[in-house]
Amino acid sequence: MDTTHIHFTGHPDCGNCPIRHRAVCARCETDELAALEQIKYYRSFEAGQTVIWSGDRMDFVASVVTGIATLTQTMEDGRRQMVGLLLPSDFVGRPGRERAPYDVTATTDLVMCCFRKKPFEDMMVRTPHIGQRLLEMTLDELDAAREWMLLLGRKTAREKIASLIAIIGRRDSSLKLRGDKGPLTFDLPLTREAMADYLGLTLETVSRQISALKRDGVISLEGKRHVSVPDVDRLLEEAGDDTDGGMLA
Amino acid sequence: MDTTHIHFTGHPDCGNCPIRHRAVCARCETDELAALEQIKYYRSFEAGQTVIWSGDRMDFVASVVTGIATLTQTMEDGRRQMVGLLLPSDFVGRPGRERAPYDVTATTDLVMCCFRKKPFEDMMVRTPHIGQRLLEMTLDELDAAREWMLLLGRKTAREKIASLIAIIGRRDSSLKLRGDKGPLTFDLPLTREAMADYLGLTLETVSRQISALKRDGVISLEGKRHVSVPDVDRLLEEAGDDTDGGMLA
DNA sequence: GCGGCGATTTGATCTGCGTCAAAGAGTGCA
DNA sequence: TGCACTCTTTGACGCAGATCAAATCGCCGC
């Protein structure tokens, strides 16, 4: 078995399981874990495929194993706003809700680890720590959403781009705390258009601001997607973040 | 006891308790409810007072009994974004988090029903349905935050104002489902500045758009704060909402 | 009734970002 | 090798909303 996969069994190498089974296994009944294992299944999607449409029945919950998925909301006239970005180990879906409240789309090739909802809910009732872990994850998501609201409502285009690069950079390599001055290198997993949907901008503005940050030496690019950041603190300053908290979720 | 208060005891008139004790009482141990009752206390604030500053230690969780509180984030240079609006029965605070991630401010006179965090957390462990209810509430908040992100990222000033009026109107009177054509009347509990912070606008733009909606007959005003909406569907159309879901949280 | 003060409205002007348009750049397929 | 397609960059221009400024309203204490 590929040990980078997210799952809920007791595999000792499963380090980024979103419900942290390793931390709680001691408290679990073995047969409950086995039951989770039985309802688990994997689904793969190609880049660009839609996992589920807003309003569709959603009879599973899932975590991202590899690849990137986005949550987007769309208005009748086509205006779109990304409302969530799912990287490996992120969780999607909610016990107790029938239908998906937004589109879930694979922006890269994607593998998800799914659980049928009903058995998962039963499991939650029998195994309280799963619910507790889910609450913790949901609260983290809520904090991230609120940070994002500050970005959408009050930041300039340049600050938005810098923030996005900082968020992806920090998530991508799990890494570099603030104050670590080392250079930072990673791929942007989103098209300019997806970034625009994330940031509440147009793709032209995204492109212009990326060019501007490059011109000003805040970032450098190899190709269109590979970014390196010579000075992380400089980037964070451009992002308008205050110097300690924030943007971590 | 004022039976409109939110609390966790089994008072039969406590209809809007956020953890729905009435629905779950049958499953609870009486002495657990009594224990919650013991750690409960009320705090009052005047309009404009700050309940807690971002970064401060927060050793309680609470629900709003009467009045209105806001959650705001502030950038170093003073730009502010409201990230949450707490109306009566809304909950704030999180088990397992030391410090407040944003400012909590009373925008009207405010009474909160508080629980010291540690005992509340202990209670959660012993009484799983409290955690389940908290998860449910947090998921609702997350949905509301994501709807709000669409507003911040993609709506015009006019749509934002219409959306805000629709949100407050629907929450204020618990009321009028879509399709109900009756007129709708309520008070805006926020200053123009607070609305601006909510919507990612300036207070001048808020004022101008409210005037425009009034001029166009979408709303009418008595004084500065009292709104009535002759045609709710018209308002929702102005808000750019699609015709079924949304904006309900 | 009269000042004082914050909240609100309205006007004039400026500007950041959107819109429209067209020209590269990268990749795969024939 | 060249065409077709998508993604990206860059330019020119316009506008929604910000900014700056000045009334006006409403309310409270005197």
Query: Could you please report the per-residue DSSP string of chain A?
Result: --TTS--SS--TT-TT-TT-HHHHGGGS-HHHHHHHHHHEEEEEE-TT-EEE-TTSB--EEEEEEES-EEEEEE-TTS-EEEEEEE-TT-EE--TT--B-SSEEEESS-EEEEEEEHHHHHHHHHH-HHHHHHHHHHHHHHHHHHHHHHHHHHH--HHHHHHHHHHHHHHHHSS---TT--S-EEEE--S-HHHHHHHHTS-HHHHHHHHHHHHHTTS-EEETTTEEEES-HHHHHHHTT--SSSSS--
Helix or strand run (H / E) with residue B21: helix B21-24
* CA–CA dist B154, A75 (Å, integer): 9
Residues above pLDDT 70, as percent of chain A: 78
Q: How far: B91 CA to D3 C1' (Å)?
A: 61
Burial of B116 (0-12, 13-18, 19+ CB in 10 A): middle
Contact B76 A240 (CB under 8 A): yes
* Residue B206 clears pLDDT 90, i.e. is over it: yes
Lowest mean pLDDT across A157-161, A244-248, B70-74: A244-248
Q: Say if CB A35 and CB A123 are below 8 A apart.
A: yes
> What residue has its CA nearest to the C1' of C18?
A202
Is B134 part of the contact surface with chain A (CB cutoff 8 Å)?
Answer: yes
With CA of B48 and C1' of each nucleotide, the nearest comes out as C6
User: CA–CA separation, A93 vs A108, rounded Å?
Assistant: 19
CB B221 within 7 Å, strand C: yes
Cβ-Cβ contacts under 8 Å, A242 against chain B: 75-76
For residue A165, what pLDDT is reported? 95
In this structure, of A6-10, A107-111, B61-65, B101-105, the range with the lowest mean pLDDT score is A6-10
pLDDT confidence of A179, banded at 50, 70, 90?
A: low
More confident residue, A127 or A118: A118
**Looking at residues B161-184, what average pLDDT do you find?**
74
A142 touches chain B (CB under 8 A): yes
Instruction: Report pLDDT digits (tens) over A38-53.
Output: 778 889 998 889 999 9
* Least trusted range by pLDDT, from A33-37, B21-25, B207-211: B21-25
Chain A CB within 8 Å of residue B95 CB: yes
Mean pLDDT of chain B: 81
Domain boundaries, chain B: 21-129, 155-238
Q: For residue B113, what pLDDT band results from cuts at 50, 70 and 90?
A: confident
A185-224 exposure pattern, b = at least 16 Cβ within 10 A, e = fewer: ebebbbbbebbbbbbbbeeebbbebbeebeeeebbeeeee
What class has domain B155-238? Answer: mainly alpha
Q: What is the pLDDT of residue A25?
A: 40
Enumerate residues 145 to 174 of chain A having a beta carbon within 8 A of any beta carbon in chain B: 145-150, 152-154
pLDDT value of residue A224 = 83
Mutate to test the interface with B, among A80, A152, A241 (most CBs of B within 10 A): A152
Greater pLDDT, A3 or A91: A91
Q: Examine the pLDDT at A24 and tell me if it is beyond 50.
A: no
Tokens of A120: 């998962």
pLDDT at A207 over 90: yes
Q: Which residues touch strand D (CB under 7 A)?
A: A 191-193, 203-204, 206-208, 210-211, 221, 224-225; B 156-158, 200-202, 204-205, 223-224
Taking the model in full, what pTM does it have?
0.86
Q: Which residues touch A213 (CB under 8 Å, ≥6 apart)?
A: A158, A161, A162, A165, A219, A238
Give the model's pLDDT for residue A34.
Answer: 60
- The answer to whether residue B132 scores a pLDDT higher than 70 is yes
- pLDDT higher at B94 or A79: A79
Average pLDDT score over residue span A119-128: 82
Give me the mean pLDDT over the B207-229 stretch.
Answer: 93
Intrachain domains B21-129 and B155-238 with the same fold: no
pLDDT digits (tens, 9 = 90+) for B38-78: 778 899 998 889 999 999 999 999 988 888 999 999 999 99
| A47: alpha, beta or left? (left if phi > 0; alpha if psi -120 to 50) | beta
Superfamily of domain B21-129: Jelly Rolls (2.60.120.10)
CATH topology of domain A21-130: Jelly Rolls (2.60.120)
Which residue bears the tokens 């419900």? A19
Please tell me which residue, B168 or B128, carries the higher pLDDT value: B168
Return the residue in B56, B81, B133, B203 with the most chain A beta carbons within 10 A, the one to mutate for interface testing: B81
Residue B208 has a pLDDT of: 97
